[in-house]
Amino acid sequence: MRIYEVFLKKDGKDEFRHAGSLEAPDDELAIVLARETYVRRAEGDQLWLVDRANVVTVDADFVAPNADKPHRHNDGSLVAADRRARRDLLPAPST
């Protein structure tokens, strides 16, 4: 048996999203089983099935070291606060 990862895409600009996985012995059975398991309520109108053997996985040890770098999470709030402070210093517009 193989394990297939199931991806669904809705109509429009949404991207493909991972929906789950299933076991099947071959591609055609995976298609037939995925149809009613994952799309019976029209959850998507495009379906990708990826044999897990073909998924490139990366060690957590290699991925994890960037978890403690909050300085890379710039949400722009410091810049926004600074701009607001400068605007408040300007004289009120004359009427």
Could you say which of 12, 25, 70, 76 contacts another protein (CB under 8 A)?
25
Q: Token digits for 15?
A: 């991207």
Q: Token digits for 41?
A: 């309520």
Stretch that binds another protein, among 10-18, 34-42, 67-75, 82-90 (CB under 8 A): 34-42
Residue owning tokens 């994952």: 38
Smallest distance from another protein to CB 28, Å? 5
Smallest distance from another protein to CB 15, Å? 25
Chain centre distance of CA 34: 21
Helix (H, G, I), strand (E, B) or coil at 45: coil
Residue owning tokens 């722009």: 76
**Which residue's CB is nearer to another protein, number 52 or number 83?**
52
Query: Taking CB under 8 A as the rule, which mask of x and - marks residues 44-73 in contact with another protein?
Result: ------------------------------
Residue owning tokens 């076991």: 23
Neighbour count for residue 85 (Cβ, 10 Å): 9
**Which residue's CB is nearer to another protein, number 40 or number 72?**
40
